[in-house]
Amino acid sequence: MLTIKVLGSGCPNCQKVEANARQALAMLQPPDGYQITHVKDPLTISQYVLKTPGLVINEKVVSEGRIPDPSEIMTWLADALAAQS
């Protein structure tokens, strides 16, 4: 199972990262499923990144301070799936 965390206060940029992640997940359809959470707590966010929005896949920071497009996120998700097997 993939675990995805969107890091940010809930601003429009953070919401766009979450929407792009959900779009990438819909295209990839991970066989073991996924869990996506939006982390808004500043202390928790600071344990991962200094700039938001951030994206974490399986506890690995893959993006910080920008909005990755769905195809880029799909690549990271595929890499995470490959690392699990």
pLDDT tens over the chain, length 85 residues? 999 999 999 999 999 999 999 999 999 999 899 999 999 999 999 999 999 999 999 999 999 999 999 999 999 999 999 998 7
Kindly list the strands in the beta sheet with 34-39, ordered across the sheet, starting from the edge strand earlier in the chain: 34-39, 2-7, 54-57, 60-64
- Cα gap 24→65, rounded to integer Å: 19
Q: Which superfamily is assigned to 4-84 in CATH?
A: Glutaredoxin (3.40.30.10)
